[in-house]
Amino acid sequence: MSRIYAIILCLGSLVISLDQWTKNLAIETLKTEGTSIPFLSWFNWTLVHNHGAAFGMLRNLPDSVRVTFFIVMPLAVLTILWFTIVRHIKPIQKITPVAMGLVLGGALGNLIDRIRFGYVIDFVDWFYPSSGDSCIPLFYRIGGSGCHWPVFNVADIAINIAVVLLIIDSFKNGSPEPAPQKNSCF
């Protein structure tokens, strides 16, 4: 079991370190929110202060509610994951500890931002050129610069990879075996 915890903690620490390093690099390089630097033909570095959840949801809540919610929620989710998944990982399982390490690092990486700044630093602006009026679902138009995915960061990438790994793992392992039932007397 200690090997499983070591994987989770090491990977979580790696994600937090990479996440915070890239966010600090984005802040130093871009300086002010909204500043954008082309990186590739389909990526920009764009500094965004995300006051909401994923895709900016819930950003219009009052500050006292929003900040409290976004600090308590990741801690609650991590606690639930600990009691429902992490404590029950078997040594034979290889994907689940990796996924839990990614979730831990991603959740804590964004939580650090919420505590430091009151918002999350996002900076990866992924887009595709489009001259039409509409974008594919989940992408949105910004002026004439194409269709953009909501700006994200390394912590978000880690959490999304974890979700994909858990989905793959659920198909690979099938449904969990039911717990053996004890014989009881009336």
Residues that are catalytic = 122, 156
Q: Residue 159 in contact with residue 165, Cβ under 8 Å?
A: no
Q: Which of these, 75, 67, 71, lies nearest to 51 by C-alpha position?
A: 67
Residue 145: phi, psi to the nearest 5? -95, 15
d(CA 23, CA 26): 5
Strand, helix or coil for residue 10 = helix
Q: And the tokens for 69? A: 């919610």
DSSP code per residue over 113-182: HHHHHSSEEEEEEEEE---SS---TT-EE-TTS-EEPPPB-HHHHHHHHHHHHHHHHHHHH-SPPPPPPP
Strand, helix or coil for residue 41 = coil
- Residue 48: Cβ-neighbour burial (10 angstroms; 0-12, 13-18, 19+): buried
